[in-house]
Amino acid sequence: VSAYVYQIVTDKFVLGNDYRYARNTVGFPDDSFVKTQRNRAFGRYFFTSMFFVQTGATYLYQDRVGYAFEGVPNGSDSGWLFDAALGYRLPTRHGFITAGVNNIFGRDFVLEQAVFNDNAIVLSDPIVELAARINF
């Protein structure tokens, strides 16, 4: 399940929030599951019509029962991730290019990421990321 909302506050400032919930269940040989939730809030400020700065805060939660995949123990973990980036919006809004830092404070998680159902892998150290997202 996923849901999102974006609000254009002014012509230079945008806020957004997206939420994802996933549950993976294995019924054989025993009942086991992994529940994952992610809630991300972000803000984006446009300096000009093309360049912007953005920052975000993400809350992650995962609960694992009877599911010891690749040595990740049963139990749960949760916490906050913070990120910031500079970006360039491609002409006619066909996507954007960003350069930024993810997990700024180096939060360490115990997550089963093979079933995380997310578009990004969570690493325990701050990560510099260069990304391009193209819209068609």
Amino acid symbol at 113: Q
The answer, yes or no, to whether residue 18 has pLDDT greater than 60, is yes
| pTM, two decimal places | 0.80
Q: Given a cut of 90, is residue 109 above it in pLDDT?
A: no
Q: How confident is the model at residue 56 (pLDDT cuts 50, 70, 90)?
A: very high
DSSP 48-67: SSSEEEEEEEEEEEEEEES-
DSSP type of residue 72: P
